[in-house]
Homo-oligomer: A and B are copies of this chain.
Amino acid sequence: MTRFFVSPEQLAQNFLVLTGENAAHAKVLRLQNGEEVLVCDGAGNECVCTVSDVSPGQISLVVKSRQLSASEAKVRASIYMAFSKGDKLEHVIQKATELGAAEIVAFPSNRCVSRPDEKSLAKKLERWQKIAASAAEQSGRGVIPQVLAVDSYKAALERASKADKAILFYENEKATTLRMALEADSFTSISLLTGPEGGLEEKEVEQAKNTGLQICTLGSRILRCETAPLCALSAVMYATGEF
């Protein structure tokens, strides 16, 4: 069923009107009277609706039934990714949304080559949030992940450490596997941190350890900075019984 996102206020009504981008999307799909669509508030609430009228630029819907989204992951996974070059963060935002991440947090670290200034960051965040919304729609998510940026590595560590489990992946860690970290005890929220192209510095890894993060390996192959978070997230989703 086609999925549209509206505001929680709109979703509370019994008669909805799709306008703007939603109406444009409905036009492309040639929605007809009587067809059913799914309307979500992006926070986990959904309505099955019937199309009651199709006019240029506006589609009227009648709410048929309400439900909680069934496509959200049981565990709240937060992806913390260091600022990186090119469109790597965009790639990770799109894929992490498909894979079920709850949020994606960008952070600076010493070896980050690319670190946007305040003005360009505001623009980027707006763009990134749109990528998350579009990926949520396409993958059938009931929640649009939040995309945010913190302004220091320290702030990232402190925020990440508030989850039940917080793991930093480091290519020089050989002993502790992700499996060991996941199987040690139960959890309902998890933070997964990965470094930039040039990797994290040893003292940054120490700092993470001191903030309460566990340091884990992702295996004996060196993963690119855009591959590591998605590999870790896929493994966490598998380990927590999503598939």
Contacts and interface: CB of A to CB of B under 8 A. Distances in A.
A71 B243 contact: no
Interface in A194-222: 216-222
A195 to B, nearest CB: 15
A221 B95 contact: no
A28 to B, nearest CB: 16
Interface in A63-106: 70-71, 73, 95, 98-100
B223 A99 contact: yes
A224 B140 contact: no
Contact of A220 (B140, B178, B179, B223): B140
Given A231-B234, A234-B231, A235-B235, A243 B216 contact: yes
A218 B243 contact: yes
**Residue with the highest number of chain B CB atoms closer than 10 Å, among A99, A224, A234:** A234
A141 B223 CA distance: 11
Nearest to A177: B243
Q: How many copies does the complex hold?
A: 2
B230 A235 contact: no
Nearest to A70: B220
Nearest to A99: B231
A98 B224 contact: yes
A231 B235 CA distance: 8
A237 interface: yes
Interface string A128-155: 0000000000111100000000000000
Q: Which 6 A-B pairs have the closest CB atoms?
A: A234-B234, A235-B238, A219-B243, A231-B234, A219-B242, A71-B220
